[in-house]
Amino acid sequence: MNLMGQTKTISDRENIALNVVWNRLISVCEEQANVLMRVGFGTIVREAGDLSAGVFNAEGKMLAQAVTGTPGHVNTMAESVGAMIARVGADTLRPGDALVTNDPWLGAGHIFDFVVVTPAFLDGTIVGYLASTSHIVDVGGIGWSAVGRSIFEEGVVIPVSRLRRHGELNEDILSIITTNSRIPKEARGDILSLLSCNDTGVDRLIELMREFGFRSLDQVTDFIFERSRAGSAAAIAEVPNGRFSNELTLDGYDSPIVLRAAMEIEDTTIRVDLTGSSPEATRGINCPLNYTKAYASFGIRALLAGHIPNNAASLEAITIAAPPGLIVSAERPAPVTARHVVGQALPDLMLGCLAHALPGKVLAESSGALWTMSLSGIGARPFSSLNVALGGMGARPGEDGLSTTAFPSGVGSVPVEIAETAAPVLYHSKEYAADSGGAGQYRGGLGQRIEIGAVEDEPLALSAAAFERLRVGPAGREGGLPGGRGRVEFTDGTVIQDKGNYQIPPGERLVLTTPGGGGFGSPENRDPAALARDVSRGLVSRERARSLYQFNESQQEE
C-alpha cells in the first residue's frame, strides 16, 4: 500500500493504516530492546533492563521508543541523537556507519551509559536513525562511586566518534574503552550489543517502509507528531492554569540537597523553573540538565499524559529550565557518576507541584533513586558485581503503593540466582521490609531488606554511590504518613550514612533496608479488612497497626 502524497485530510482507511505503522514502529523499538537484552554482557542490562531503544526520523527527531527501558535513557536520547548527528554532519554518514559517545552532557548524564546511533539508508538515502543506550559496568577511573571531584576522575569519556565506518569496526575506539576497563571483555561485548540491536532495528525499519511503499518517513512523522501534540495539549488543558511550587530535601553528600521547582501551567503548556535548587556539589551526585529534563518531564507526563506515546512531539509541551551551575544543571567538568540521586527525585518534585493543582489526585512520594549495590572483589579473585535494590512507590488515590518497584526508573533487579552465578557473592536473604510502607488510608509500597556477602572469606569493596533517603523517608500525601527511611549497615555494627567507599571485612555482610513509599490519606480511614490482611501477611506489624491504625485484635482477614 502506497500512502505517499496524502494531504492532512486522510480517509479512514489511511488513518487505520498509519496507526498500524505507528504501532509497528514501536514494535521495531521493542525488538531492538529485546535483542539488546539477549546479547548484552552485563547482567544489569541483560536481566534488569537498564537500557533504551528508539527510532528517529531523518532529522533526528524521536518517533517512537521501546516500552522496555528507562526515562533517563530514552528522554535524554531524544535530544542526544540530533546533537550527535550535528557533530559529525549527516552528509558525512554512509551505509554501515555508526556513532558512539558516553559524554554525560550529550548522552544519559554519566559516563557509564553509552549511546550508539546508526543511520538507516533506503536506496542510498538516510531515511531515519536507530539509537540505543545501555549501562557499561566499568569504564575506568574510580569506578562506580560518588567520591570523585571532577569528571576526569570518573573514567574515560568518548566524544562523538565513529564506532563503525563503512561496516568496519573502529578498533581504536574500542581499544581505548577496553584498555580503561577492569572488565574489558564485558565492556566490549556490551558496546557491540548496542550495534547489534540497532542493526536489527534498521533491518526492520527498512522492511516496514518497503512493505508500505514509503520513500521517506515524512508522512508518518506528520501523523505521529500531530496526534501526539493534540493529545498532550488536551491532557494539560485538563489541569487548572496557575503557578505551583514545591520543595524537596535529599540527604546529599556532605550536606543536604534542596530541590525547588516553580511550575507554570498555561492552557496547553507547562514550564518549570528549578531556580533556587542547591548549587553544584563537590562530589559526584551532580545532574546535567539533559538528565534533569528527562526525569522531570517524565514525572509530569506519567501523571497527566501517560496514555500518549512518548516521542519528540509529546515532549514539546513541557519546558524544564535552570540557570547553569546548580545541582540540577551541573556544568562540565563536575563529577556526575551518581546523577540519578538527584534526577530520579525530580518526578516527585514535579508531582508535588501538581498536587497543588490537582488536590486528592496525586500519589504520595516514592523511594526515588535506585540503590546500587556495587561490590568488588579485592582478594585473590577480582570481580565486579552490580545490582540494584528497589524501594516502595507512594500510595495512590484509591490504591496502595507498589512494593519494591523502581519508580521512576522502571528498572528491575538482577535475580539472585543470576547475580550469584555472575560473581562470587551470596545473597543470604531478600525479603519485604515490614513496616516500611507509609501508613495511610492507602498504604505506601514496601521497601526490601537484602543481606549479601562474599562466598569466600575475603573482604569486599563497596562503592556506596547512591544510598539516599537515609535521614527522611518519602512524604505522604493528603494526611498519609512518610514511608520508612532507608538503612545501610554491616553485620559488624558499622552503619553507613553517606555516599563514600567502604570495605566489608572478611566474614561480614552488607545489610540494606530500602525506603518505603509514603502513605495516602489518613491512616484512621484504612479499610479494616485491608489492614488485617497486611498484619496477617507480615507487611505491617501488630505494634505498628495498633499505634498508627488503631488496629483491633479481633479483626480478621477476610
pLDDT (tens digit per residue) in 142-170? 888 889 999 999 999 999 999 999 999 99
Residue 354 parent element (H or E): helix 346-357
User: Is it the case that residue 558 has pLDDT exceeding 80?
Assistant: no
In a domain? residue 483: yes
- CA separation (Å) from 428 to 420, 425, 451, 480, 487? 11, 10, 5, 33, 17
Are residues 500 and 425 both part of a single domain? yes
Number of domains in the chain: 3
* 18-to-2, 6, 201, 218, 401 alpha-carbon distances in Å: 11, 11, 19, 12, 37
pLDDT on residue 555: 54
Sheet holding 257-266, edge to edge: 242-250, 257-266, 269-273, 318-321
Residues counted in the chain: 558
Is there a single domain that holds both residue 441 and residue 464? yes
Q: What is the DSSP string of 107-129?
A: TTSSTTEEEEEEEEEETTEEEEE
Same domain, 202 and 239: no
CA distance 354 to 349: 9
Is the same domain home to 50 and 134? yes
Q: Evaluate whether residue 239 is within a structural domain.
A: yes
pLDDT at 95 over 90: yes
- The whole-angstrom separation of Cα 28 and Cα 198 is 10
CA distance 500 to 484: 22
* pLDDT at residue 553 greater than cutoff 80: no
Of 176, 191, 216, the last residue of a domain is: 216
Burial of residue 458, with CB atoms counted within 10 A of its CB: 0-12 exposed, 13-18 middle, 19 or more buried: middle
- Asked if the model's pLDDT at residue 103 lies above 70, the reply is yes
Q: Indicate if 481 and 500 belong to the same structural domain.
A: yes
**Does one domain contain both 244 and 163?**
no
Taking only the tens place, the pLDDT of each residue in 372-400 is 888 888 766 778 888 999 999 999 999 99
Of 361, 376, 407, the residue at which a domain comes to its end is 361
Residues 330 and 410 in one domain: no
Asked if residue 532 has pLDDT above 80, the reply is yes
CATH number at residue 75: 3.30.450
Sheet containing 448-454: which strands, arranged edge to edge? 425-432, 448-454, 510-513, 487-490, 495-496
**Is 5 inside a domain boundary?**
no
In a domain, 244, yes or no: yes
The string of DSSP codes covering 400-460 is: PPPSS--TTT---PPPHHHHHHHSSEEEEEEEE-TT-SPPSSBPPPP-EEEEEEESSS--E
pLDDT digits (tens, 9 = 90+) for 394-410: 999 999 999 999 999 98
Question: E strands of 91-219, at which residues?
Answer: 98-101, 113-122, 125-135, 161-165, 168-169
Residue 182, judged by CB atoms within 10 A of its CB (0-12, 13-18, 19+), counts as: middle
Residue 82 domain flag = yes
CB atoms within 10 A of CB 2: 9
Q: What is the pLDDT of residues 326-344, one digit of tens each?
A: 999 999 999 999 999 999 9
Which H helix or E strand runs over 388?
Answer: strand 384-389
Does residue 6 lie in a domain region?
no
Write out pLDDT tens, residues 340-370: 999 999 999 999 999 999 999 999 999 999 8
Cα separation, 405 vs 425, whole angstroms: 23
Same domain for 398 and 510, yes or no, is yes
Residue 531 in grid coordinates? 489492614
Give the predicted TM-score (pTM) of the model: 0.93
* Dihedral Cα 433, 436, 437, 441, nearest 10 deg: 120
- Residue 87 burial class via C-beta count within 10 angstroms: exposed 0-12, middle 13-18, buried 19 and up: middle
DSSP per-residue letters across 486-518: PEEEETTS-EE-SS-EEEEPTT--EEEEPPPPP
Amino acid found at 63: L
Question: Which pLDDT value is given to residue 210?
Answer: 96
- Average pLDDT over the chain reads 92
The per-residue pLDDT for 42 is 81
Q: How confident is the model at residue 237 (pLDDT cuts 50, 70, 90)?
A: very high
Same domain assignment for residues 186 and 278: no
The CATH number of residue 320's host domain is: 3.30.365
Contact assessment for residue 274 and residue 261, using Cβ atoms and an 8 Å cutoff: yes
Provide the pLDDT confidence category of residue 50 given band limits of 50, 70 and 90: confident
Percent of the chain with pLDDT over 90: 80
- Same-domain status, 193 and 322: no
How far is residue 248's CA from residue 260's CA, in Å, rounded to a whole number? 7
Say what the pLDDT of residue 471 is: 94
Domain contains 531: no
Q: Are residues 145 and 67 in the same domain?
A: yes
Domain membership flag for residue 421: yes
DSSP 8-state class, residue 150 = S
Domain that holds residue 449: 363-526
Is the same domain home to 266 and 374?
A: no
Cα distance between residue 44 and residue 385, in whole Å: 9
